[in-house]
Amino acid sequence: MRIAAIEPEPVDQVPYVSALTGGGSAVMNLPVYMGQMDGLPPGLDGMIVASDLQGTCEAGDSEPRLLGEELAERLALLLEYEFPKLDQRRMGVLLCGDLYANPEVRGSSGDPLPVWRAFARSYGRVCGVAGNHDLLPPGGEAELKTWDNVDFFDRPGVREWSGLTLAGLGGIVGREGRPNRMPEERFVREFKRLLFHRPDLLLLHQGPSGMDSHQRGHEDLRAALETGPPLLVCCGHVHWEQPLAEIGQAQVLNADGRVLVFRRA
């Protein structure tokens, strides 16, 4: 799989409420970009990639809902308008973590299941990893396993997915014992172990650094990619102004704070 192009301007922007550092909140916009991708398997006509959907949206008289819930429905309407002949059950979705938000407390952690449910209802295949702010409730992992079209990496691993070899490693580097954190040495070792399987696609929350100082990330992950196999890496956690980097034979797509919708090139 390889990204052929990303349009420079967003095709849509989804308004949401986000908590601010120090208190309060503000209305922001989540940009939606269109692009083209080579190497999609025969069972998929497109791919949606998103990460760090840390906001909420008003829902009329009901309680505000998570940004990802609103996004799943809004993208379905956008695709129906832009590509009326597209079968949305032939769309794959890649979720790179941090899908929960509290509009009053920045950096809060909580239940991302409503977002997973929303995407699973609307699209053909949904796959992803946990971010450092995603806390599944008791029974949450068991629920995700009941969905035939959902693949959640609760631990590092490799799976066959719609004709692709897919790998996933969630969480971030951090002190062991805290949710979705792993000691640095183990995190890097798990990453290299996944590369050994030569996946077509690798999902992370915390990703590698890019090729310039504005694409922040983990330096050891980047070094492993420089001599690693060809693949597409999708991640988030920190924001890149330019979402795509070429590292060795790999492409790294950082979806933090944006959504990318790819069709077959």
Please give the chain's pLDDT, 265 residues, in tens: 999 999 999 999 999 999 888 778 889 999 999 999 999 998 899 999 999 999 999 876 678 899 999 999 999 999 999 998 889 999 999 999 999 998 788 888 999 999 999 999 999 999 999 999 999 999 999 999 999 999 999 999 999 988 899 999 999 999 988 889 999 999 999 999 999 999 999 999 999 999 888 999 999 999 999 999 999 999 999 999 999 999 999 999 999 999 999 999 8
Domain presence at residue 24: no
Nearest to 50 by CA among 36, 31, 37: 31
- Left if phi > 0, otherwise alpha if psi is -120 to 50, otherwise beta: which for 38? beta
Domain presence at residue 132: yes
Tokens of 87: 């079968």
Domain presence at residue 7: no
Domain presence at residue 26: no
CATH code of 101's domain: 3.60.21.10
User: Which pLDDT score is estimated for 60?
Assistant: 67
Domain presence at residue 155: yes
User: Which pLDDT score is estimated for 105?
Assistant: 85
User: Which pLDDT score is estimated for 110?
Assistant: 94
User: Which pLDDT score is estimated for 77?
Assistant: 94
User: How many domains does the chain divide into?
Assistant: 1
The answer for residues whose C-beta is within 8 angstroms of residue 42's C-beta and 6 or more apart is 163
Please write the tens of the pLDDT for every residue from 79-107. 999 998 889 999 999 999 999 998 788 88
Distance CA 114, CA 68 (A): 8
User: Are 129 and 158 in contact, with CB atoms under 8 Å apart?
Assistant: no
User: Which pLDDT score is estimated for 61?
Assistant: 67
Residue 102 DSSP class: B
User: Which pLDDT score is estimated for 27?
Assistant: 92
User: Which pLDDT score is estimated for 25?
Assistant: 85
Give 3-state DSSP helix, strand, coil % of the chain, rounded to 5: 20, 40, 40
Domain presence at residue 6: no
User: Are 72 and 117 in contact, with CB atoms under 8 Å apart?
Assistant: no
Domain presence at residue 10: no
User: Which pLDDT score is estimated for 213?
Assistant: 87
Could you count the other beta carbons within 10 Å of the beta carbon of residue 154?
Answer: 14
Could you count the other beta carbons within 10 Å of the beta carbon of residue 32?
Answer: 21
Domain presence at residue 101: yes
Q: What domain range is 77 assigned to?
A: 33-264
Per the confidence metrics, is the pTM higher than 0.85?
yes
